[in-house]
Structure 1
Amino acid sequence: MSSEILVLGAGMVGVSTALALRQRGHHVTLVDRKAPGQETSYGNAGLIQREAVQPYAFPRDWRVLADVALGRGNDVHYQLPALLALAPRLARYWANSAPGAYAPLARAYAQLIVHCLSEHAQWVAQAGADDLVERKGWVRGFLTPAAFEAASVQARQTAQEHQLGCTLLDGAALARLMPALRGPLAGGIHWTDPWAVSDPGGLVARYAALLGRMGGETVRAEVRKLQPQGAHWQVQTDAGPLQAQHVVLALGPWADGATRALGYRLPLFVKRGYHRHYVVQQPLPMPLLLTEPGFMLAPMTRGLRITTGAEFAPHEAPASPVQLAQAERVARGLLELGEAVEPQPWLGARPCTVDMNPVIGAAPRHPGLWFNFGHGHQGFTLGPASGRLLAELISGEAPYIDPKPYSPQRF
């Protein structure tokens, strides 16, 4: 039976959920204060990461933690007040990253990742978005032989266990693959399965346009209040009230505030990140992660995008793009980097959970309310896979994967 459903949040997760629901015959309205793909889904490396079968664990090596604490690395930056406020949740994140706890969490994470390409493929084709997608993978590059050798051992194991395409490149092979690099690198790991998207926000916009052609609606409005009203839900917006039988919260880093307003205390937190585009004369053939400096170079429609690692800071705090400044300095030593395209760096936030798995399923205490958020670094990758799962749960279908690891009730 079809239902009237409001999907709040027009990032990759929300738009993909709306598509999967409309595909099943539901009457769907997508609601966001901005155009689709203009918030969190806009600011990422543009990768659909089939190889990302292992979620980002909290570092447990004391030397790595010391480097972070003393500010010696560039992959993690923090504002001390925010770190202290997040301490209870970060402690749970650290505990879940212990080997015994991490293994089952990673298995659950991988069962979503394994479907990311096939679930994106149908929407890419129907949305006419092939021009935005390169299917050549990406490279993890290393400055030092020791780091390359250690990572290569782990890469071989992961590739074999999960049947992934992986090619190890010595320094010479990497230089041939990426002639734009001026300085030699020790080596690289080429993950060949992932897809690279040259305009992440543009892909979300194409998916949203497809939703419109399928009969779904999109409303540009600021959500002010969400409340049950009899057997329905009412959403108060600055454009007027909206009502439906079901509401899906796909609000990414804003999900914490929305669920708290309804009495939930889910262990969510955000990692902030920055990017900026630069003019280049000789583009890279595919995205390149520079592991030791902790940033990625991703060829995009607007130029070469430099994306940073994680920053622990309040979600709405003023920008502090020290990681991006350091990344730019290193990048200028490695390739001919021109002027920045934007006057200011882009800043966004990644929605994270303490057990590294997203929250997908029915709200425990509110019939007709559904959650789909907390994808951490992989919302762009996992949007269609998690959208399908939630659409199956709402529709009463047999889910294509076990939904229990993502249930909101696990907390």
Structure 2
Amino acid sequence: MSELRADVLVLGAGMVGVSAALHLQQRGRDVILVDKHDLAGEETSYGNAGIVECASVFPYMFPRDVAEIMRYAANRAPQARYQLADLPFFLPWLVRYYLASAPDRALRGAMAVLPLIRRSLIEHELLIAEAGVPDLLRRTGWIKLFRSDRSLAGTLREFERAKRYGVEGCVLDAAGIAQREPSLSGAFAGAIHFSAPGFVPDPGGLAKAYAALFARKGGRLFKTDAGTLQQVRDGWRVGGRGQAALAREAVVALGPWSDLVFRRLGYFIPLGVKRGYHLHLNARGNAVLNHPVLDSDLGYLLAPMNRGIRLTTGVEFARRDRPPTPVQLEQALPRAHKLFPLGEAVDAKPWMGARPCLPDMLPVIGKAPRHAGLWFDFGHQHHGLTLGPVSGRLLAEMMTGETPLADPAPFAAGRFD
């Protein structure tokens, strides 16, 4: 049996894991990146809206409006859907999500993650420059459309609040929308153009570019089942009888699959998933989409990816490994065709992925409380692409004894004890 040795094993080659591996590597650690795929960025990191959301001060919290909650409960809201058969499974998590979304608790969480949000685009720009892929970042921002005066007014109040924390953007009327996106059709009450966020037209490709940088700097990718991780006398071991990897320390960065490791080690961390779907379509004729555009009242987003126009859905609450049920995508398709001149589908079938979420919508970043040399970096909810590099830096600073760029206490695994 052959055995690879390193300083650190990073489990998971998505955006979060690759970023952590790079930051540890920058600090002199020999790192092995562990994944079940041959390439990085093949799972959750592949399927998102591509927005580096440095303007998202407030996380996606459970709604407090009774009428809105009733719409969700009746499965009539396009922004979220649930599978009735799985309700007993995820209802306790939803209760915790609701409690954590109380205004005072939500504000504390937002302020805790704000230093990471503010630094998120900067950390991406540094890695993109080092990886030599400037074409994978566009500084276009994104546009949030509103079809009703009520939804526009509610978001304008949130926007005014967010501006106090440095969020930039401008309110658009019909003429402003048409100027920025002349190919869109429909009657809109208005829109907000968030100008600061970056846009990545190939999120999976960016994860692969970061992994290629990691390899050029001497990093190794080891294909195996990360669920085989076990503590041994010299540290942590992963792999089977034919080949294994051993290191003093290990980082669990498996996104929605992180529970396959931490539960076996005796940790109860309430990790849930929000599933989502996307489909790429061609644009008809000479139609062009210049920004990611969220049709907020109808619960879908269009993004101009390299592969085509990516149509993404709201969230689906269901067991992580249930077969796909792309009802939201089927409902969104005719609405999206009315908004933008879409052509034939590029993909043979819709893609489905899972967003790893904790009830307070904050990630777990830091030391495992009861195991020497074990670290966590998962649960980045809707912002894995956004927060991957900056949370990787925070984790690497903690692991190497540097002064962390933000207070790590709110992200500690022990907050759920």
Q: Which amino acid letter does the alignment assign opposite residue 89 of structure 2? A: A
1:224-244 superposed Cα distances (whole Å, 9 cap, x missing partner): 411111131111248621111
Q: Distance in 2 between matches of 1:361 and 1:239?
A: 31
Alignment match, 2:400: 395
1:254 aligns with 2:257: yes
Task: Please report the TM-score for the alignment, with normalisation by the length of structure 1.
Answer: 0.97
Alignment match, 2:205: 202
The within-5 A match list for 1:319-338 is 319-338=324-343
- The count of corresponding residues between Structure 1 and Structure 2 is 409
Deviation at 1:391, TM superposition (A): 0.4
Alignment match, 2:220: 217
1:243 aligns with 2:264: no
Q: Distance in 1 between matches of 2:34 and 2:271?
A: 22
Deviation at 1:219, TM superposition (A): 1.7
The within-5 A match list for 1:9-48 is 9-34=12-37, 35-48=39-52
**80-89 or 29-38, which moves further after superposition?**
80-89
Q: Which amino acid letter does the alignment assign opposite residue 135 of structure 1? A: R
CA contact (8 A) 1:287 1:297 kept: yes
Alignment match, 2:74: 70
Q: Which amino acid letter does the alignment assign opposite residue 205 of structure 2? A: G
Q: Quick one: which of 141, 153, 160 aligns to 1:149?
A: 153
**225-234 or 147-156, which moves further after superposition?**
147-156
1:309-342 superposed Cα distances (whole Å, 9 cap, x missing partner): 1100000000000001111110111221101111
Q: Quick one: which of 96, 99, 104 aligns to 1:100?
A: 104
Q: Quick one: which of 2, 6, 10 aligns to 2:9?
A: 6
Q: Quick one: which of 193, 196, 202 aligns to 1:193?
A: 196
**Aligned pair in 2 of structure 1 residues 238, 169: CA closer, same or farther (>3 Å)?**
farther
Deviation at 1:289, TM superposition (A): 0.5
**238-247 or 281-290, which moves further after superposition?**
238-247
**Aligned pair in 2 of structure 1 residues 116, 148: CA closer, same or farther (>3 Å)?**
same
Could you tell me which runs of 5 or more consecutive residues in structure 1 were left unpaired when the two chains were aligned.
Answer: none
CA contact (8 A) 2:227 2:260 kept: no
**344-353 or 328-337, which moves further after superposition?**
328-337
Alignment match, 1:177: 180
Deviation at 1:145, TM superposition (A): 2.2
User: Matched residue of 1:331: which SS?
Assistant: helix
Task: Please report the TM-score for the alignment, with normalisation by the length of structure 2.
Answer: 0.96
1:234-271 superposed Cα distances (whole Å, 9 cap, x missing partner): 11248621111011000000012211111111011000
Report the aligned-residue RMSD.
1.4
Deviation at 1:182, TM superposition (A): 2.2
**Aligned pair in 2 of structure 1 residues 305, 238: CA closer, same or farther (>3 Å)?**
farther
Q: Distance in 2 between matches of 1:82 and 1:113?
A: 33
Q: Distance in 2 between matches of 1:238 and 1:127?
A: 35
1:113-137 superposed Cα distances (whole Å, 9 cap, x missing partner): 1110111111010011111111010
The within-5 A match list for 1:269-284 is 269-281=272-284, 282-284=287-289
1:115 aligns with 2:119: yes
Q: Percent identity?
A: 47
The within-5 A match list for 1:124-139 is 124-139=128-143
